[in-house]
């Protein structure tokens, strides 16, 4: 088991579990329980408690209860507000799932949040990751999500892997706390990494001297991998494809976006199988939800180019129709990210007269690149025209000051054509 660093303090898991037990009402002892808290340390204590007691449970933020409360009751869980020490909803029936089931809450970035059943065995995937030496991880993921549990299980089940809780978000204060705590490994979404660059600048980020950088939670592009390599040339660079339903499926260590097409043909003995059906990635993994289908339809569109499988986006939102021509948003984004002044971008459909839609782009400039909006717009039009067919070139640009993210530090997914973005 690892230690937990909270500021200058260090706590071991046993002490954390003891502190949580003292806050649990006696009536829920060893019963199936949904533990609500907005405190990161309490959330870790809650997960450690569930793992130690092997009781069925879930760890949720207090504002995440809405929409899943009835389902939690159906599952036979008593809901406890840890921050207030109160039982909110007692269980009315025995749980219909095996003891030790852990329910994750999906981030809701692709629809309404839902509960996904796992076991501690299905959540513990770190035996697939080569960790030559123990490291101290900056915990950046939102409590209760799949990526968060990946970090939690490493901390609980792998000796010497410490976690650091560093305060809210990708801020200079959090970075300073991470450095003070001796963090030498970062696992985060690409959007979190870019926010860190925007808010802290390249030089301050470099002071972390990371030994490992792992990206997950959203599609990874070459530009963010290159930034990580430039800042931390000694670091082991990995990106992971995983989801609450499919579990951990792909670990890529060659530092390039996408994954080798040879992964699609791996034998069943490898444990994880991947295939592409109608352009959509399907996954069969021993780390998948314990209640799902054998083959999980990921909803992620992919294409194989030159022996590499590249992600095109979510099915239904990966293309923009411009006068009948289908424009793959991911290719436009990849083009924009190749421009040295662009740190982040999001390509969306903009409803337009005559052609139905045109391509629009939101962009964030790199720290230090301080072009005027009009100048940047002209430069990006020129850049795109040199690399893309005319129909794929963005016609409207919105320059943002920072990377817009969801609470889970992911880029907000579009649910429909953008209107009136300026």
Partner 1 sequence: MVLLRELQARQGRSQDFDESTPLEALGLRSLDFSELALRVERVVGRELNFDAARMRGIRTVGDAVEFLRLAAAPSA
Structure tokens at 107: 């981030």
User: Binding of partner 1 at residue 326 (CB under 8 A)?
Assistant: no
| Residue of 267, 324, 353, 368 that binds partner 1 (CB under 8 A) | 353
| Residues 116 and 244: beta-carbon distance below 8 Å | yes
Does position 277 bind partner 1 by CB under 8 A? Answer: no
From 180, 385, 402, 416, residue interacting with partner 1 (rule: CB under 8 A) = 385
Does position 236 interact with partner 1 (CB under 8 A)? The reply is no
**Is 382 among the residues that bind partner 1 (CB under 8 A)?**
yes
E strands in 22-145: 33-36, 57-60, 78-81, 86-89, 102-105, 115-118, 136-139
Return the residue of 1, 129, 280, 396 that touches partner 1, per CB under 8 A. Answer: 396
Q: Where are the beta strands (DSSP E) in 124-199?
A: 136-139, 162-165, 185-188
d(CA 386, CA 96): 59
- Give the containing element (helix H, strand E) for 400: strand 396-400
391 binds partner 1 (CB under 8 A): yes
Min dist CB 418 to partner 1, Å, is 12
Nearer to partner 1, 60 or 358 (CB): 358
Among 322, 327, 336, 349, binds partner 1 (CB under 8 A): 322
Q: Is 355 in the site for partner 1 (CB under 8 A)?
A: yes
Q: Which stretch binds partner 1 (CB under 8 A): 121-129, 136-144, 390-398, 408-416?
A: 390-398
Q: Kindly tell me the number of DSSP H helices and DSSP E strands found in the chain.
A: 10, 24
Least spacing, CB of residue 390 vs partner 1, in Å: 6
- Rule CB under 8 A: say whether 173 interacts with partner 1: no
Which long-range CB contacts under 8 A does 169-172 form with residues at least 24 apart?
Answer: 169/195, 169/409, 170/140, 170/195, 170/196, 170/198, 170/199, 170/200, 170/409, 171/199, 171/200, 172/199, 172/200, 172/204
- Residues at the site binding partner 1, with contacts judged by CB under 8 A: 322-323, 350, 352-355, 358, 377-378, 381-382, 385, 390-391, 395-396, 420, 422
């Amino acid at each position: 088991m690892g230690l937990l660093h909270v500021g200058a303090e260090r706590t071991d898991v046993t002490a954390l579990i003891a502190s949580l037990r003292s806050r649990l009402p006696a009536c829920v002892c060893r019963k199936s329980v949904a533990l609500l808290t907005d405190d990161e340390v309490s959330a870790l204590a809650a997960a450690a408690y569930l793992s130690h007691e092997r009781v069925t449970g879930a760890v949720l933020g207090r504002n995440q209860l809405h929409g899943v409360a009835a389902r939690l009751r159906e599952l036979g869980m008593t809901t406890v507000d840890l921050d207030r020490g109160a039982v909110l909803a007692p269980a009315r029936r025995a749980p219909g799932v095996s003891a030790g089931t852990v329910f994750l809450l999906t981030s809701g970035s692709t629809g309404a949040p839902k509960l996904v059943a796992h076991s501690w065995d299905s959540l513990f995937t770190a035996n697939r990751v080569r960790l030559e030496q123990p490291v101290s991880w900056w915990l950046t993921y939102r409590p209760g999500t799949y990526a968060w549990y990946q970090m939690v299980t490493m901390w609980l089940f792998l000796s010497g892997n410490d976690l650091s809780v560093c305060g809210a978000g990708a801020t200079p204060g959090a970075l300073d706390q991470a450095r003070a705590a001796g963090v030498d490994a970062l696992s985060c979404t690409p959007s979190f990494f870019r926010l860190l660059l925007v808010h802290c600048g390249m030089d301050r980020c470099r002071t972390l001297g990371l030994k490992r950088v792992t990206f997950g939670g959203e599609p990874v592009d070459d530009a963010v991998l290159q930034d990580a390599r430039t800042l931390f040339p000694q670091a082991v660079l990995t990106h992971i494809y995983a989801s609450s339903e499919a579990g951990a499926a792909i670990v890529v260590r060659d530092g390039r976006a996408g994954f080798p097409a040879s992964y699609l043909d791996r034998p069943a003995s490898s444990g994880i199988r991947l295939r592409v059906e109608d352009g959509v990635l399907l996954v069969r993994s021993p780390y998948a939800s314990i209640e799902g289908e054998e083959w999980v339809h990921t909803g992620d569109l992919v294409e194989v180019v030159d022996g590499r499988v590249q992600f095109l986006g979510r099915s239904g939102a990966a293309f923009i129709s411009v006068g009948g021509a289908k424009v793959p948003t991911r290719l436009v984004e990849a083009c924009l990210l190749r421009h040295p002044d662009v740190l982040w971008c999001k390509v969306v459909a903009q409803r337009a007269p005559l052609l139905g839609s045109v391509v629009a782009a939101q962009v964030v400039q790199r720290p230090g690149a301080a072009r005027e909006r009009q100048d940047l717009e002209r430069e990006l039009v020129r850049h795109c025209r040199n690399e893309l067919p005319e129909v794929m070139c963005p016609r409207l640009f919105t320059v943002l000051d920072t990377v817009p993210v969801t609470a889970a530090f992911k880029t907000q997914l579009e649910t429909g054509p953008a209107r009136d973005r300026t």
